Amino acid sequence: MKIAFLGTGVMGKSMAHHLMNGGHSLIVFTRTRSKADDLVAAGAEWADTPALAAADADVVFSIVGYPADVEQIYFGEHGVLAGAQKGSVVVDMTTSSPDLAIRIADQAHSAGLLALDAPVSGGDVGAREARLSIMVGGDAAAFERVSPLFDLMGKNIVYQGSAGSGQHTKMCNQIAIAAGMLGVCEALAYAEASGLDPDTVLKSIANGAAASWSLSNLAPRMLAGNFDPGFYVKHFIKDLTIALESAEKMGLNVPGLTLAKEMYEKLAASGGEDLGTQALFTLYKGA
């Protein structure tokens, strides 16, 4: 298939390579052209705008930073919807707002296109190893058509329902993580404050009812003082903001999410926005 890929950052670059390695021809666009250099060197075509990239494509993938970037790439003067051919499928894989996913789908339908929202989890490692979890909403027929391409990028690919459902599912994922991070940080802070050896505490608690991915994977980094970004604080705040706004629109009270967002904003305000999410622990150390 002829595929347009928009956004070749840390995630997108690996995903685009997998699609090329799967035998598909790629045309790429990204804001900072140098970030597409090695894809172009590997045989991808370069397009100067999203519209030009989409013009010949059967499927258009995008994975960029913020909802505002998604809006620009889809609705801008030289955006995807201005260029995509009738019958093609547009797939936004950015973690973005469910409402925006619905707006894209509506406008795509008006233009004779199909649309999917398909945010991922699994991070840069998951992208590199083609082991992403892909949460998909939108046109069921489009999901069938795009599935072989998703299979090249991920392992756990689940169709969740109509437009916006992929984004809503990703919000569920982030909501579950958010309050859980408070629990992990507070357990470790308590361990240190009470004079325990936190590494020994992990031997007791990491595999029982307190077990979590965060406790197994992020707690050791917290204790080692390694706050390098696996997942950026600033991106997590973006996600939590979308989730909270979305919950508020639905009239849903989510005090754990509200608290977690406040804590992460406090961390960002104190200079931590470019650290990894495990840096939340520093707020407790400083207490």
Which of 2, 35, 170, 238 is flagged as catalytic? 170
Q: Give residues 194-233 in contact with a second copy (rule: CB under 8 A).
A: 194-197, 200-201, 203-205, 207-215, 217, 231
Q: How far is the CB of 146 from a second copy (least distance, A)?
A: 16
Location of structure tokens 């939590």: 240
User: b/e for 201-226, b at 16 or more Cβ within 10 A?
Assistant: bbeeeeeeeeebebbeebbbbbbeee
What six digits make up the tokens of 147?
């599935």
Give 277's DSSP letter: G
Q: Which helix (H) or strand (E) holds 91?
A: strand 89-92
Please say which residue, 31 or 131, places its beta carbon nearer to a second copy.
131
Q: Give residues 131-150 in contact with a second copy (rule: CB under 8 A).
A: 133, 135
Q: Does 193 bind a second copy (CB under 8 A)?
A: yes
Per DSSP, the three-state class of 156 is strand
Please say which residue, 41 or 269, places its beta carbon nearer to a second copy.
269
Q: Does 274 bind a second copy (CB under 8 A)?
A: no
Are 152 and 166 within 8 A, CB to CB?
no
Q: How far is the CB of 27 from a second copy (least distance, A)?
A: 30
CA–CA distance, 210 with 224 (Å, rounded to integer)? 20
CA–CA distance, 163 with 142 (Å, rounded to integer)? 11
Q: How far is the CB of 174 from a second copy (least distance, A)?
A: 8
Per DSSP, the three-state class of 62 is strand
Q: How far is the CB of 207 from a second copy (least distance, A)?
A: 7
- Site stretch for a second copy (CB under 8 A), options 46-54, 61-69, 171-179, 268-276: 171-179
Q: Give residues 106-125 in contact with a second copy (rule: CB under 8 A).
A: 121-123
Q: Does 182 bind a second copy (CB under 8 A)?
A: yes
Q: Give residues 22-81 in contact with a second copy (rule: CB under 8 A).
A: none
CA–CA distance, 85 with 90 (Å, rounded to integer)? 10
Please say which residue, 224 or 252, places its beta carbon nearer to a second copy.
252
Q: How far is the CB of 198 from a second copy (least distance, A)?
A: 8
Are 89 and 60 within 8 A, CB to CB?
yes
Q: Give residues 229-268 in contact with a second copy (rule: CB under 8 A).
A: 231, 243, 246-247, 250-257, 259-260, 263
Are 272 and 255 within 8 A, CB to CB?
no
Please say which residue, 49 or 169, places its beta carbon nearer to a second copy.
169
Please say which residue, 75 or 232, places its beta carbon nearer to a second copy.
232
Concerning whether 203 is annotated as a catalytic residue, the answer is: no
Paired strand residues for 254: none
Per DSSP, the three-state class of 157 is strand
Catalytic residue list? 170
